């Protein structure tokens, strides 16, 4: 990773806060620290990197404080934080484009490096063996012999673009096969490989086709493998995934939903409405299922909105109609989970299959968005 930690002359980097980036006398900016930290924190897992980004954002917001209209400072800060994160990703991405040549598949060095290196090699060999003859040749010609895509295209009579695409697909497959080899596991279902492949290549359309999100909820192996694959894929700003297992995840989910909706320009009431609905739905997952995921996606068509899809691997709802009727409750609640969330949303659908799990899809459009 070539992304170097940034230091600021007036700020001690050991201080993991961000508060000290704001000189006294800027109460508005200081008040933004929590939200900025959330925005950054939801995108960057490394704490020290996140702290640096928070500080960088605050420095920018401070500089702009005078220019920003009153009341707009928070949205300005959110936008700035996103930009700061995005530009870090761009840097990382550039580094990564060249990275696969040398270190793509190498885990961080540890004391057992030697042993690991050998296991690693075996895994790579096994992964390579799973590729087709043609895929192997292509990969070796490009990565090892260093022949560029144009030369390869001329040899095979296709275009450089096509060869590059093929290389990308092959690398995506190699990553999947490598992870499987490291795990020493054979995928339990026929769906695993296509799903992992779709995740590995970062192809959203393909992921939808194979219903990747759903599968990851249901399949433990794929859930485990999806993390390194998703981390590696193109970071996308308009979709976030929040794994839901514990009480704390409910809070994280509604925060993320609120923040996504804020980016769509929702009114403050609708932000709370969205957060409340998410809270209800996420709680259902924690109460009734082992695990689930909330996928929040920004919509632009036919106008600005937010779609939230909550999936779990629970027992399923035997009678969806009844569950949507007021007063239905199987745990010690008020029976408002599903019907309440439905009242808060513009569109709401529940699909459930006994023994397999439940998917709740809900959409909220920005008000005044309709022409």
Where do contacts with other proteins occur on this chain (CB under 8 A)? 246-248, 250-251, 254-255, 258, 267-269, 271-273, 275-277, 279-280, 283, 286, 326, 333-334, 336-337, 339-341, 343-344, 367-368
CB of 96 to other proteins, least distance (A): 31
Nearer to other proteins, 141 or 277 (CB): 277
CA dist 291 and 311 (Å) reads 9
Nearer to other proteins, 17 or 272 (CB): 272
Q: Are 314 and 285 in contact (CB under 8 A)?
A: yes
**Which residue do the tokens 């799973």 mark?**
130
Distance of CA 324 to the CA centre of its chain: 30
CA dist 119 and 121 (Å) reads 5
CB of 112 to other proteins, least distance (A): 38
Q: Are 341 and 362 in contact (CB under 8 A)?
A: yes
Residue ranges of alpha helices (H) inside the chain are 27-31, 33-41, 47-64, 73-99, 113-130, 133-143, 149-156, 160-183, 192-201, 204-209, 212-218, 220-232, 247-263, 268-288, 320-324, 337-344
CB of 217 to other proteins, least distance (A): 21
Nearer to other proteins, 53 or 286 (CB): 286
CB of 34 to other proteins, least distance (A): 9
- Listed residue (208, 225, 209, 217) closest to 297, CA to CA: 208
CB of 60 to other proteins, least distance (A): 24
Nearer to other proteins, 233 or 339 (CB): 339
Nearer to other proteins, 163 or 257 (CB): 257
- Listed residue (308, 286, 313) closest to 297, CA to CA: 308
CB of 30 to other proteins, least distance (A): 16
Nearer to other proteins, 87 or 246 (CB): 246
Nearer to other proteins, 47 or 343 (CB): 343
CB of 283 to other proteins, least distance (A): 6
β-pairing, 305-312 vs 239-244, is unpaired
């Amino acid at each position: 990773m070539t992304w170097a930690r940034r230091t600021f002359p007036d700020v001690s980097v050991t201080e993991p806060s961000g508060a000290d980036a704001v000189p006294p006398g800027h109460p508005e900016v200081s008040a933004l620290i929590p939200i900025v930290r959330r925005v950054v924190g939801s995108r960057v897992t490394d704490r020290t990197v996140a702290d640096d980004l928070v500080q960088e954002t605050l420095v920018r917001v401070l500089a702009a404080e005078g220019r920003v209209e009153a009341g707009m400072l928070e949205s300005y800060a959110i936008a700035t934080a996103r930009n700061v994160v995005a530009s870090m990703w761009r840097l990382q991405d550039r580094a990564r484009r060249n990275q696969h040549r040398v270190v793509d598949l190498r885990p961080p060095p540890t004391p057992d490096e030697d042993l690991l290196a050998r296991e690693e090699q075996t895994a790579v060999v096994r992964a390579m063996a799973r590729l087709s003859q043609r895929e192997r040749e292509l990969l070796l010609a490009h990565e090892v012999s260093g022949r560029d895509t144009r030369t390869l295209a001329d040899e095979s009579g296709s275009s450089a673009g096509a060869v590059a695409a093929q290389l990308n697909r092959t690398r995506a497959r190699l990553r999947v096969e490598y992870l499987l080899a490291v795990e020493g596991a054979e995928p339990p279902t026929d769906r695993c490989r296509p799903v992992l492949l779709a995740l590995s290549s970062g192809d959203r359309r393909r992921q939808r086709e194979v219903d990747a999100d759903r599968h990851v909820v249901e399949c433990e192996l794929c859930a485990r493998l999806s993390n390194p694959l998703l981390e590696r894929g193109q970071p996308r700003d308009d979709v976030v995934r929040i794994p839901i297992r514990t009480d704390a995840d409910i809070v994280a989910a509604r925060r993320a939903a609120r923040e996504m909706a804020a980016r769509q320009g929702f009114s403050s009431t609708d932000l709370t409405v969205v957060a409340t609905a998410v809270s209800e739905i996420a709680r259902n997952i924690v109460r009734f299922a082992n695990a689930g995921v909330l996928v929040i996606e920004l919509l632009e068509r036919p106008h600005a909105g937010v779609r939230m899809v909550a999936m779990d691997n629970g027992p399923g709802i035997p009678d969806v109609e009844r569950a949507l009727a007021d007063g239905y409750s199987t745990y010690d609640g008020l029976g408002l989970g599903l019907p309440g969330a439905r009242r808060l949303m513009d569109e709401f659908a529940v699909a459930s299959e006994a023994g397999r799990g439940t998917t709740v899809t809900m959409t909220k459009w920005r008000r005044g968005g309709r022409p």
